[in-house]
Structure 1
């Protein structure tokens, strides 16, 4: 397994490098000059061709693309000096650039927003599984019953609603119309400063993510359990006289968790990469909200850094899923 993990990590590093190249080239050969946003900002939207040429020269956009990408890649490991207009900024490693808006190293801002995104991801992912898997297992045990059909139909209806609309309605009813105690003041507060305020500020976002996300996990769990409970080894376990709970939860659920883990790994990686709608609606200053602000402000270093971070998180989550496979299913061997 160790050799497999090392190979996957090396492959992940290659993929991240390719993604960084693709992002760099997209900005370099985009429809407008990469220096245009900072030139507009520094000149109050009075960027003349001469001033634009000055910013392009200071940022290195008049140099060969491979030379500037080499500086960027080197800066990730050893840091570099970035010159914006007449001012030079020291960017320590890992240097992902300087924000055009705040004139702060991108990595410094990212570190400040990671706790908020991690809080959203961990709470939402926990409710995904805490609601979805038990309900799906219960529906599979009562396959074809009225309660099973009603549950599947209601969850299909709920999942057909766009998530941003569901989250917006949850925020509107809980914070504006009814002002539900404990839910009427969403937002992120550091857990180290006030754990109770952190929990109450994140609770509504967790509930919205958990209720909406558990619909698909209920369907996945139900389908996987129905298939697992029809296997020969389940009938053998029943014939041996094992208790029904042991048959379902020890033998059936373990096999059914394999496809669920695949989906959960991707979803959790996506949550860690930043949930734009959740963070925007519930006023959580995380990676997703930050990237949305950067796109609107054309803050290219922040946009490229968040895209690179998202790729790295998804790669790591996929590697972790493959390792968990071998633990859940003895038939899977990593080599």
Structure 2
């Protein structure tokens, strides 16, 4: 009888729901199944299992950095079979093909990849869908997962396809997101006056980027952008700061304006030079913006300004049964 190990990371519970559904289905078929939460459980002998299932959400059209780091450190010594599954609000980007390639190099034999659609929980930017929409999405997702589990048990080889244009575009977006986007977004979080200094966000953060300062959480620049903190705060005090976001947007637009001026009034530079110049200026301006925000946060006069947000009335969304302790 095949023994399964499900390796998973879940930010707000959608992937966890998928994992528990797969576990339930496999156990009902008589299979032995263990779950490995990559945030906590690391001491597992991978060679004790014949089949490995890797599950994760899609962030920025790619795989979360925490999952990539975990996969980069594991290795199969007996060519175990593997499956790669992701959850997304509609597009897997390059995540499945990326993880498959890494696992293949690690000695796994990946024979199945697929994506399951759930509702989005990107509360920092978008208001989560209604409870009714969420319930329908979970019901549809469960039906899809049951069918996927049957195909896995039957050892059906299947790889989710993506056209070359979409793949290339998703790689560009993902590289920008994982290197800068998620870090910038993490710095735009604030805790408003409703914060009770409970420290729940600090304890729940999978990337360990939240620390408490003067009774308020503060985010470092290595945010995973998993949205767990904003969706699980018991007082809904965590918000997106419009002012912080505006500072970063200005810092990203400024290099474009400078390059336009250089080309219009000084030199007509080759395209490749403009691209390299912009990338360099973009990184520098982003660092400057981050330092500026850190300095402003130390001054009490900027507190109310930073607290200006449009996410206060947003619904918070965490999957039912998801344990973040």
Could you say which TM-score interval applies, normalised by the shorter chain? under 0.3
Using the size of structure 2 for normalisation, the TM-score is: 0.21
Name the structure with the higher strand share.
2
TM-score by length of 1: 0.20
> Larger relative CO (CA 8 A, sep 6+): 1 or 2?
1
Rg bigger for which structure? 1
